[in-house]
Amino acid sequence: MVADFVSADHGWLRSPDGKESARVLFKAGKSRDGYFTNDDIVAQARKAIKLIKEYFPDEDHVLVFDNATTHLKRPDGALSARKMPKHPSKEGTNWGIEVTAKDAAGKIVYGTDGKPSKVKVRMGDGTLKDGSPQSIYFPDGHPRAGIFKGMAIILEERGYCDMSRVRAECPGFICDPTVERCCCRRMLYNEPDFVNVKSTLELACALEGVRVLFLPKFHCELNFMEQCWGHAKRTYLQYPASSKEEDLERNVVDALQSVTLDHMRK
């Protein structure tokens, strides 16, 4: 697979001498380069930002991405009400988020069954209406210090009353839009700090002063990026078939190079 950045002003993102780029040629597969994860996407975005800052410093750049799951991934431990239980964790247990285990080099750790291993981490703090942080775990000094509070207590700390009377979740999480207090999960979903959680990609780019824009989940395939990929794919299909990996990789690069700035602007 291939991933790259392109604009109608400059074409494929390159240094003026063409020696530097943010393009990634990736051989997908567990026994090859693995899979193009959110970490890879963030690393590529950082490389792109380095190039635009160095060679196009006088322009305001916005990085545009498809609405794909790997692009939208939130940081491990980010606020989410999706799997929260209503009540505090039982004795001897504690609720947390299961995330993919990684080694010291940042590579995914696989179990003996060939599937990614999972580890449990604590969820981060929320934010109350006055701007102060709200831990979703009982604080030090509490009889159950470090244990998850449960949705009911989290909501009561936010000013909602009698949450014991509100169910954890509507059947199938299909809520009646006319009922404000239908279930704890929906109430937390609608809290501003839960709504406004940024993706890992947005946070990484924001640190560099660059904005990120995600395309709608369902959109017309006639946008600029899709047309560039479509032109390259069409050209690629015209090359002679080959079973040699080096031929296929060269064809991919040549097909992308065939998409000129003039083509992009049409």
Beta bridge partners of 64: 213
**120, 171: one domain:** yes
Number of residues that this document lists for the chain:
266
Instruction: State which of 167, 194, 221 marks the end of a domain.
Output: 194
Q: Residue 51 sits in which domain range? A: 2-73+199-265
**161, 138: one domain:** yes
Tell me the whole-structure pTM to 2 decimals.
0.82
**177, 106: one domain:** yes
Instruction: State which of 194, 215, 248 marks the end of a domain.
Output: 194
CATH code assigned at 58: 3.30.420.10
Total structural domains in the chain? 2
Domain-located, residue 83: no
pLDDT tens series, the chain, 266 aa: 899 999 989 999 999 999 999 999 988 777 677 778 899 999 999 999 999 999 999 999 999 999 999 999 999 999 999 999 999 999 999 999 998 888 888 778 888 888 889 999 999 999 999 999 999 999 999 999 999 999 999 999 999 999 999 999 999 999 999 999 999 999 999 999 999 999 999 999 999 999 999 988 876 777 788 889 999 999 999 999 999 989 999 999 999 999 988 888 87
Strand 2-3 versus strand 126-127 pairing type: unpaired
Domain-located, residue 47: yes
Domain-located, residue 122: yes
C-alpha 188/C-alpha 66 separation (Å) is 27
Instruction: State which of 135, 162, 194 marks the end of a domain.
Output: 194
C-alpha 241/C-alpha 254 separation (Å) is 14
